[in-house]
Homo-oligomer: A and B are copies of this chain.
């Protein structure tokens, strides 16, 4: 089980919703993601708290996007999910008194900080609209091959 696939999940869900008319229920999204509806609510609830989606109960209820696809970047979604840890590696002690460990943490920490900065920068430069366009391109390719 990979550690955290929520960013991947919400992206899949959001693009689905973008291509879909009207709200989508947690159960429908759960079927698409092969995930449990309660987990969908749990995760989408974080996006709702961030003002990116809205939820409604009752008949014809479900989830819908309330943000502009052009302005929502992967980084904003990452933040909406609570900025979970990106790296699986870490230090043993954060603020060691030992000089050796300080040297080790400095070297490791700098490399990891650079990698994290790069990743967040890439995340900031990709929007939901970009992904929707990429999907449309892939879709057209497949149709062209079949036809």
Contacts and interface: CB of A to CB of B under 8 A. Distances in A.
Interface in A98-130: 98-108, 110-112, 114-116, 118-119, 122-123, 126, 130
Contact of A3 (B88, B93, B105, B130): B88
A138 interface: yes
Secondary structure type dominating chain A contacts: helix
B100 A126 contact: no
A138 B4 contact: no
Interface residues of A, number: 56
A7 interface: yes
Given A8-B104, A8-B108, A89-B4, A122 B114 contact: yes
A42 interface: no
A106 B92 contact: no
Nearest to A116: B115
A72 interface: no
Contacts of A9: 92
Contact of A131 (B4, B107, B116, B139): B107
A2 interface: yes
Given A114-B118, A118-B115, A138 B99 contact: yes
Contacts of A76: none
A11 interface: yes
Interface in A1-56: 2-5, 7-9, 11-12, 15-16, 19, 32-35
